[in-house]
Amino acid sequence: MADRRMEGKRVLVTGAGTGIGQGVALEFAREGAAVALHYAHSDTGAESTAKEIVEAGGQARAFKADFNVAQQARALPAQAAEFLGGLDVLINNAGITWNHPFLETTEEQYDTVLNVNIKAMFFCSQGAAALMAERGGGVILNMSSVHAYGAIVEHPVYATTKAAIVGFTRTLSVELIQKNIRVNCIAPGWIMVENQRKLLGPDFDEQEEGRSLPAGFIGEPSDIGRLAIFLASDESRYIVGQTVCCDGGQLALLPCTPDFRTPMTEAFGTGYVPGR
């Protein structure tokens, strides 16, 4: 690319073996960054993605850390920084997407999702911030979800973590900006990833379902990657503590309304608003 905005930047992406994390890592590499890709239990693509980046002339390596163990999450940034020669950007992407009926959820299930989705993020950020503060600053980007703002049944634990990430981002940003570390958050909407395609099955019509969104299509990991690059660059230097929704208009459309492409036949406000 002619405009390599991340040239010379050293980036750690957690949960980078597949899906959004993999897409984000690839976008940063294309923009010139050296990238450390984290994975949890099985490599699930982190190694092959790192190899792809290296073969394209970039710098990348995969790192394993169990995010059910807070100590491993906190130690990861230092391990990545040793390889990268420092750390400029942390993308806290790792997370478990999980649904289960509220009344059937066990304490073990609850703890597992919270450990990975928010506790690990907390301590990984702590490890990264310590390194960044020593070197004069950096950027931390957290990955939330539209589930922080809108409800779907059987997602009470998942939504709890995603809402917590929004609050964590806002509060952490005020503390760390004093150390020249900007903290922001991305809340993706419907992003089509390989695991989701497998779950939905061969009969799923992605184009048809995409037309239900105002954008007219379902997003891809690269859409999140490009937003992350903007938020990690100096172009967004005045954005601090914010959560940016990247959802194709999903949250902008009230779910109780009819098809947004069809003019409404109802006339709310008749007798109260002039001209109605």
Q: Which of 9, 125, 145, 173 is catalytic?
A: 145
Strand order in the sheet with 181-188: 60-64, 34-39, 10-13, 89-92, 138-143, 181-188, 243-246
Burial string for 4-15 (b: 16+ CB within 10 Å, else e) reads: ebbeebbbbbbb
Contact of 44 with 17, CB cutoff 8 Å: yes
Q: Which of 9, 119, 158, 173 is catalytic?
A: 158
162 is annotated as an active-site residue: yes
198 is annotated as an active-site residue: no
233 is annotated as an active-site residue: no
144 is annotated as an active-site residue: yes
Tokens found for residue 236: 């967004």
Q: If residue 60 lies in a helix (H) or strand (E), which one and from where to where?
A: strand 60-64
Of 152, 122, 161, which is closest to residue 140 (Cα–Cα)?
A: 122
Q: Which of 9, 119, 144, 173 is catalytic?
A: 144
Q: Which of 125, 162, 173, 236 is catalytic?
A: 162
Q: Catalytic residues, which ones?
A: 144-145, 158, 162
